[in-house]
């Protein structure tokens, strides 16, 4: 059978053509003919089945993945050396070192690297009349996909260049060029990169995300290659399938959900959150650079805020809550997945990311082109998609737990509020102490615990307000000191950070951790799950902190808020603090209140007036705190009568 070549599409039969000659119709009156043709056209229009929609998506093979496959096939030796030729007597050798794969003109790919050759005459176990060559080797080949989904390299063309970049085909290079050419034709002709397993895995994933009777389930049998192109960043195989139209059915009246159905709806959102955290943690273990971790924190927090918004709206009749959440997540995470493919040095892991990327691209394409195809973002489908990243994972990748997650804390460098501070302050120990700095540290720990004990369920009476204000002020100052790291930011930010922590506590809670309800003393909590003095959302920051301590431990809540503000200041606030230092505080609060993607909200035109008012109120409070003029206003007390 002829191989399927890049850039070609297989011919399709035209169902409108029929064998045989068409008979001429009998003569008819002009008016009657028009009426008859119009009626016939209307009947055919109504009777003709709607055409299937072709949906295509890319299966992306980064050149680094292809390079790893080629190096395995060509039996790379230690030090990144490929031995292309060696004579039996050892007097003739040719090697290429650390070859790379890049795109080449005319839709080809290029394997290139520094090469060296030696040729001599064997005599009495020695090599005489040695001739040496050093330069650059370039092997161009045309990628092709055969009918069994194997990527192959055809029509190899070899070029040798000397150290000055001049093309060589004379003297010793002629012999070496012939050797490399013959070797390339033999070795590359036998190379095959099997794309069948990734395609099969994508098909299985799509089947798990489609109802058995949906148009998508039937469309998966039409999965086929459309084109293969060598693009600047990767080799892309475009895969297509034909999705038939969904049958029209009148919408049934939606009834209110029962209590059990509402619980199941909330469970689905919890499972999506579990999927989100699993993917972020997996990607974070590959991309260890600070920029990637900042991207992933942005993805995690923003996606969780999306979930929070869905929960706030409640169930919508006939609307799958996961579908839009997944598609928004995919828009944010796709670039990070692409980067993870080429990082880490694990070839098998890179291929798993290829499958994950292709599956996500396929889901996004199907939803865009054929939204009625019958995608069903069930827990089983998300679970299977998550396991493409870590097949050996023994637990449930959709597990939802409120407990602190050490992997999440370590990935984003979040410090637990009860853990030792980032730096030990060299304070003078108490009188009579002989332990020096060690005693100073113990003294700080004791003070942290003492402040928390004093604030435990404390709702101050009017005569206790000055004392309460001083205790909270000291607690917030200590919380800022424990999170601040002088190695992360210079000293200019230390006072700003202390004022920022105090201002946010004023803005969010008026320095309150507890309130008095009909049932007694309770933690301050909003309808959306923001708790305590720093109003930390339990869902958005799940896995970073203990929810019980956030509710009932004032010091822990203040420390958690300071830790979040520290991370946002380092990652986002400092970007705005270069022209004007105070803008770092404004940007950090915008990110704290609106999410990392909104850190420029305080100066962005077109922001809703309600949000502008929040940012203005914060800025006014911050200026009062930094000037030492906040006083009792931090408790949001009514003005005293003069």
Q: What is the pLDDT of residues 271-311, one digit of tens each?
A: 999 999 999 999 988 766 888 899 999 999 999 999 999 99
∠ CA 424-425-428 to the nearest 5 degrees? 130
Q: What is the pLDDT at residue 433?
A: 44
Q: Which two tokens stand for residue 168?
A: 């060589």
Alpha-carbon distance of 328 to 364, in angstroms, equals 9
Q: What is the pLDDT at residue 432?
A: 46
44: Cβ contacts below 8 Å, ≥ 6 apart: none
138 bridge partner residues? 112, 159
Q: Boundaries of CATH 1.10.530 in the chain?
A: 437-635
Condensed to tens digits (0 to 9), the pLDDT of residues 381-398 reads 899 999 998 888 999 999
Q: What is the pLDDT at residue 622?
A: 97
Q: Distance from CA of residue 8 to its chain's centroid?
A: 33
Give me the chain's average pLDDT, please: 84
Q: Tell me if 444 sits within 8 A of 425, measured CB to CB.
A: yes
359: Cβ contacts below 8 Å, ≥ 6 apart: 201, 202, 205, 206, 385, 388
CATH of 437-635, one of 1.10.287, 1.10.530, 3.30.450, 3.40.50: 1.10.530
Q: What is the mean pLDDT of residues 101-119?
A: 90
Q: Tell me if 417 sits within 8 A of 556, measured CB to CB.
A: yes
Q: pLDDT at residue 110 above 60?
A: yes
Alpha-carbon distance of 253 to 256, in angstroms, equals 10
3-state secondary structure 271-306: HHHHHHHHHHHHHHHHCCCHHHHHHHHHHHHHHHHH
- Band of pLDDT at residue 90, cut at 50, 70 and 90: confident
Q: pLDDT at residue 185 above 60?
A: yes
Q: Distance from CA of residue 253 to its chain's centroid?
A: 38
- Band of pLDDT at residue 50, cut at 50, 70 and 90: low
Residue ranges of E strands in 19-125:
53-62, 81-86, 93-97, 100-104, 108-123
Q: What is the pLDDT at residue 214?
A: 82
H-helix or E-strand spanning residue 145: strand 126-145
Q: pLDDT at residue 585 above 80?
A: yes
Q: pLDDT at residue 21 above 60?
A: no
Picking from 500, 511, 509, the residue whose alpha carbon sits closest to that of residue 625 is: 500
Q: Residues of the chain with pLDDT > 70: what percent?
A: 84
Least confident of 140-144, 261-265, 483-487, 528-532: 261-265
Q: What is the pLDDT at residue 3?
A: 42
Condensed to tens digits (0 to 9), the pLDDT of residues 1-12 reads 434 444 444 344
Q: pLDDT at residue 140 above 50?
A: yes
Q: Boundaries of CATH 3.15.10 in the chain?
A: 65-194
Q: pLDDT at residue 534 above 60?
A: yes
Kindly give the interhelix angle for 582-594 and 492-509, rounded to the nearest 10 degrees: 40
- Band of pLDDT at residue 449, cut at 50, 70 and 90: very high
162 bridge partner residues? 135
Q: pLDDT at residue 326 above 50?
A: yes
Q: What is the mean pLDDT of residues 15-29?
A: 45
Alpha-carbon distance of 496 to 504, in angstroms, equals 12
Q: What is the pLDDT at residue 7?
A: 44
Query: From residue 239, how far is each of 223, 225, 226 by CA, in Å?
Result: 7, 5, 6
Q: What is the pLDDT at residue 441?
A: 53
Give the CATH fold of the 65-194 domain: Bactericidal permeability-increasing protein; domain 1 (3.15.10)
Q: What is the mean pLDDT of residues 160-167?
A: 77
611: Cβ contacts below 8 Å, ≥ 6 apart: 594, 601
H-helix or E-strand spanning residue 447: helix 437-455
127 bridge partner residues? 122
Query: Of the spans 82-86, 117-121, 549-553, which averages the highest pLDDT?
Result: 549-553
632 bridge partner residues? none
Q: What is the pLDDT at residue 86?
A: 81
Least confident of 57-61, 120-124, 310-314, 567-571: 120-124
CA dihedral 293, 328, 594, 500 (to 10 degrees): 0
Residue ranges of E strands in 488-537:
514-517, 520-523, 530-531, 536-537
Q: Which two tokens stand for residue 7?
A: 């850039």
3-state secondary structure of 23: coil
Pairing type for strands 93-97 and 530-531 reads unpaired
Q: pLDDT at residue 460 above 50?
A: yes
Q: Which two tokens stand for residue 174?
A: 């002629």
- Band of pLDDT at residue 251, cut at 50, 70 and 90: low
Higher pLDDT, 340 or 295: 295
Placement of tokens 């949000």 in the chain: 611
Q: Tell me if 134 sits within 8 A of 113, measured CB to CB.
A: no
Q: What is the pLDDT at residue 356?
A: 92
Q: pLDDT at residue 193 above 80?
A: yes
Condensed to tens digits (0 to 9), the pLDDT of residues 465-514 reads 999 999 999 999 999 999 999 988 988 899 999 999 999 999 999 999 99
Alpha-carbon distance of 323 to 327, in angstroms, equals 6
Q: pLDDT at residue 34 above 70?
A: no
Q: Residues of the chain with pLDDT > 90: what percent?
A: 52
Alpha-carbon distance of 517 to 457, in angstroms, equals 12
Higher pLDDT, 637 or 436: 637
């Amino acid at each position: 059978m002829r191989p399927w070549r890049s850039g070609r599409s297989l011919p399709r039969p035209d169902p409108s053509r029929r064998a045989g000659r068409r008979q001429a119709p009998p003569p008819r009156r002009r008016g009657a003919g028009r009426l008859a043709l119009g009626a016939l056209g209307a009947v055919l229009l109504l009777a003709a089945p709607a055409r299937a929609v072709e949906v295509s998506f890319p299966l992306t093979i980064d050149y680094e993945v292809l390079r790893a496959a080629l190096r395995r096939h060509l039996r790379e030796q230690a030090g990144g050396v490929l031995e292309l030729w060696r004579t039996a007597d050892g007097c003739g050798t040719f090697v290429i070192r650390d070859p790379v794969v890049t795109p080449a003109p005319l839709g080809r790919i290029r394997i290139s690297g520094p090469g060296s050759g030696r040729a001599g005459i064997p005599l009495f176990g020695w090599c005489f009349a040695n001739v040496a060559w050093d330069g650059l080797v370039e092997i161009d080949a045309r990628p092709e996909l055969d009918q069994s989904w194997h990527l192959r390299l055809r029509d190899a063309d070899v070029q040798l260049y000397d150290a000055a970049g001049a093309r060589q085909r004379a003297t010793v290079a002629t012999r070496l060029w012939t050797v490399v050419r013959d070797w390339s034709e033999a070795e590359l002709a036998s190379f095959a990169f099997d794309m069948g397993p990734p395609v099969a895995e994508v098909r299985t994933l799509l089947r798990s995300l489609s109802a058995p009777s949906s148009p998508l389930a039937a469309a998966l049998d039409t999965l086929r290659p459309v084109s293969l192109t060598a693009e600047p960043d990767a080799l892309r195989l475009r895969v297509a399938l034909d999705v038939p139209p969904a049958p029209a059915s009148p919408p049934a009246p939606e009834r209110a959900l029962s209590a059990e159905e509402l619980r199941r709806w909330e469970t689905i959102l919890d499972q999506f959150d579990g999927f989100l955290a699993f993917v972020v943690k997996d990607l974070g273990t590959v991309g260890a650079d600070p920029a990637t971790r900042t991207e992933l924190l942005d993805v995690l927090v923003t996606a969780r805020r999306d979930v929070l918004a869905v929960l706030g709206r409640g169930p919508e009749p006939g609307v799958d809550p996961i579908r839009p959440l997944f598609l928004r997540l995919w828009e944010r995470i796709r670039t990070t997945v692409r980067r993870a493919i080429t990082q880490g040095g694990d070839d098998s892991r890179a291929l798993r990311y290829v499958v994950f990327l292709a599956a996500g691209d396929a889901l996004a394409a199907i939803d865009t082109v054929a939204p009625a195809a019958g995608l069903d973002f069930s827990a089983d489908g998300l679970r299977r998609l998550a396991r493409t990243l870590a097949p050996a994972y023994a637990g449930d990748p959709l597990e939802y737990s409120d407990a602190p997650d050490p992997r999440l804390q370590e990935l984003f460098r979040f410090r637990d509020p009860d853990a030792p501070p980032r730096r030990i302050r060299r304070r003078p120990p108490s009188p009579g102490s002989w332990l020096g700095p060690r005693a100073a540290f113990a003294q700080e720990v004791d003070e942290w615990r003492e402040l928390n004990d004093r604030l435990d369920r404390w709702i101050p009476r009017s005569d206790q307000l000055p004392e309460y204000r001083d205790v909270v002020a000291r607690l917030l100052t200590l919380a800022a000191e424990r999170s601040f790291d002088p190695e992360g930011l210079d000293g200019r930010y230390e006072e700003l950070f202390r004022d920022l922590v105090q201002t946010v506590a004023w803005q969010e809670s008026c320095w309150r951790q507890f309130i008095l309800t009909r049932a007694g003393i309770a933690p301050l909590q909003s309808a959306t799950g923001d708790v305590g003095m720093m109003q930390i959302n339990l869902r958005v920051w799940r896995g970073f902190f203990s929810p019980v301590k956030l509710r009932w431990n004032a010091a822990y809540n203040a420390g958690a808020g300071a830790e979040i503000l520290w991370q946002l200041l380092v990652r986002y606030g400092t970007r705005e603090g270069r022209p004007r230092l105070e803008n770092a505080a404004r940007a950090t609060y915008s990110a704290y209140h609106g999410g990392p993607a909104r850190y420029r909200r305080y100066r962005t035109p077109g922001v809703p007036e309600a949000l502008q008012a929040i940012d203005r109120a914060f800025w006014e409070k911050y200026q009062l705190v930094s000037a030492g003029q906040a006083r009792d206003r931090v408790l949001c007390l009514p003005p005293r009568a003069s």
